[in-house]
Amino acid sequence: MPCMTQIGKLTIDAPFFQAGLAGYSDTAMRLVARKHGCPLCVTEALLDQFLINGGKALVQAEIDPDDHPIVGQLMGSNPEDIAKGCKILVKLGYDIVDINLACPVKKIRKKARGGHLLSEPDTAIDILKAVKQAVGDDVPLTVKLRRGTDDSAVATSNFHKLFQAVIDQGFAGAVVHGRSVTQKYIGPSRWSFLKSLVDEYGQTPNFNIGGSGDIWDAHDIFRMIAHTGVRLVSVARGCIGNPWIFQQARLLMDNPDADPTSLAPTIDQQRQVLLEHFELSQRIHGERMASLMMRKFGIKFSVHHPAPMDVKDAFIKVKCLDDWHGVLEAHYGLSQSQDCVAAL
Ligand SMILES: Cc1cc2nc3c(=O)[nH]c(=O)nc-3n(C[C@H](O)[C@H](O)[C@H](O)COP(=O)(O)O)c2cc1C
C-alpha cells in the first residue's frame, strides 16, 4: 500500500484526508481529526467575495498554528475574483489552494459557482488559468470536481475538457466525487468512473487523482484505492462525529489484516473528544454558536454510544456548555471534578 503522497512540494504520510464539509470542517473539527491521525484537512468552501471584502470571513480563515498542512478551498464565479481570493489564501499561509467546481447546492449553482461551472467548462478553464497566473508555483493547486453535471454525453465531454485543462495548467491534483451534480447525494458514488479516470490520466507526472464518495469506515478507504487506483481518498460524511476513522485507517495501512473495530472508541475516549471538540468550537464561535454547531456533531457522535437514541435526544436539546456537560454527566461518565477541569 503506497503511503507517502506527494502533492506538489507537500508530502503527506497517508493516502487519505479530511474533506471540505460546509457547516462542519472548521478549525475545531480539523484539530480533533489531526489528533486522531488525519494527515491533511480541507476547509469548508470559502467564498472569494467574503475573503476579498475582509471582515469576519477573513478572520475565520486565519490558520491555527497546529492546523497544518491545510488545504484552503475557494468558491466563486469569475476568474479575477477567485484569483484574488487565492492570493489571500496563500498570504494567510495555506499549504494547498483548492478550487471548488463541485458544489451541488442550488443557491450556489444559481450564482454560477461550484458545480455549476462543470456545465461551463470555458469559464471554469479561465478560472484555472487566472488562479495559476496569480499563485504560480507558490503553493500546489488542486480542484474538487464531481463526475459531471449529469449523465448526458455533453456533460461527459465537458468533464474531460475541464479535466485535461486542470492537468495542462499544472495543477497538482484533482479530487473527484463520483456522483453527478444533479444526483446531489442520491444513489451511490460511481467508483467505476474514478477507475476510468485513473486508467486514462493516472500516469500523468506530478498529478494526483483523488476519489470521493461513500467512504463510511476505514475499510472503505482501502477498498476505494484497490478498486479505482486513486492515490488519495477523501473522507467526508464518514468522519463527522468519527475522528477515530483516521486512527483505524492508519492501523489498516500498517496491517491490512488488522481489525479496525479493535480501535472502536471507549466511553472514556468519546467523552474526552466530546469535551475537547466543544471547547475548541467555543473558542472559535463563542458558547451560543458552538452549542448549536455541536448539537449536529453530538447527533453523529451518539452512534458510538451503547444507547444511541437516548444520547441523540439529549444532544438535540443542548443550548449551552452546561447542557453539554449535563449530557456527558448523564451518559458518558463525566464527574463534577472533570466538569470543573473542563471549564478551566
Ligand atoms: C454537509 C456537507 C457539506 C459539504 N461541504 C463541502 C465543501 O465545503 N467542499 C467540498 O469540496 N465538498 C463538500 N462536501 C462534499 C464532500 O466533501 C464529499 O465529496 C461528499 O460528501 C461525498 O463523500 P461521502 O459520500 O463519503 O460523504 C460536503 C458534503 C456534505 C454532506
Could you tell me if 221 and 272 lie in one domain?
A: no
Q: Which of 240, 261, 282 is the last residue of a domain?
A: 261
> At residue 139, what are phi and psi to the nearest 5 degrees?
-140, 155
Q: Which has the minimum average pLDDT: 103-117, 166-180, 324-338?
A: 324-338
Tell me: the pLDDT tens digits for 255-286?
999 999 999 999 999 999 999 999 999 999 99
- Whose Cα sits closest to atom 4 in ligand 1? 21
Could you tell me if 206 and 332 lie in one domain?
A: no
- Whose Cα sits closest to atom 31 in ligand 1? 237
Residue 211 has pLDDT above 70, yes or no: yes
Is ipTM over 0.95?
Answer: yes
Beta strands in 116-254 (DSSP E): 141-146, 173-177, 208-212, 232-235
Could you tell me if 274 and 246 lie in one domain?
A: no
Q: Which of 237, 261, 285 is the last residue of a domain?
A: 261
Residue 185 has pLDDT above 70, yes or no: yes
Q: What is the DSSP letter of 261?
A: G
Mutate to test the pocket of ligand 1, among 190, 220, 237 (most ligand atoms within 8 A of CB): 237
Could you tell me if 255 and 291 lie in one domain?
A: no
- Whose Cα sits closest to atom 14 in ligand 1? 21
Residue 229 has pLDDT above 90, yes or no: yes
Q: Give Cα separations from 106 to 109, 112, 114, 190 (angstroms).
A: 5, 10, 10, 22
Residue 1 has pLDDT above 60, yes or no: no
Residue 73 Cβ contacting ligand 1 at under 6 Å = yes
Instruction: Give residue 144's domain range.
Output: 5-261
Do residues 198 and 209 lie in contact, with contact meaning Cβ atoms separated by under 8 Å? yes
Could you tell me if 207 and 274 lie in one domain?
A: no
Neighbours of 144 (CB within 10 A): 27
> At residue 61, what are phi and psi to the nearest 5 degrees?
-85, -5
Question: Structural domain tally of the chain?
Answer: 2
Residue written as grid cell 497538482: 172
Residue 303 has pLDDT above 80, yes or no: yes
Report the share of the chain in percent with pLDDT over 90: 95
CA of 20 to the centre of ligand 1 (A): 6
Could you tell me if 198 and 304 lie in one domain?
A: no
Partners of 74 in the β-ladder: 46, 99
Kindly provide the b/e burial profile for residues 289-327, where b requires at least 16 CB atoms within 10 angstroms of the residue's own CB. Answer: ebbebbbebbbbbbebbeeeeebbebbeebeebebbbbb
* CATH code: domain of residue 43: 3.20.20.70
Could you tell me if 167 and 308 lie in one domain?
A: no
Q: Give Cα separations from 260 to 1, 2, 232, 271 (angstroms).
A: 17, 19, 20, 20
Q: Which of 261, 288, 321 is the last residue of a domain?
A: 261
Residue 282 Cβ contacting ligand 1 at under 6 Å = no
Q: What's the confidence (pLDDT) of residue 344?
A: 44
Could you tell me if 147 and 280 lie in one domain?
A: no
Residue 340 has pLDDT above 80, yes or no: no
Could you tell me if 101 and 61 lie in one domain?
A: yes
- Whose Cα sits closest to atom 10 in ligand 1? 20
Tell me: the pLDDT tens digits for 130-181?
999 999 998 999 999 999 999 999 999 999 999 999 999 999 999 999 999 9
Q: What is the DSSP letter of 4?
A: -
Could you tell me if 186 and 311 lie in one domain?
A: no
Could you tell me if 257 and 274 lie in one domain?
A: no
Could you tell me if 196 and 302 lie in one domain?
A: no
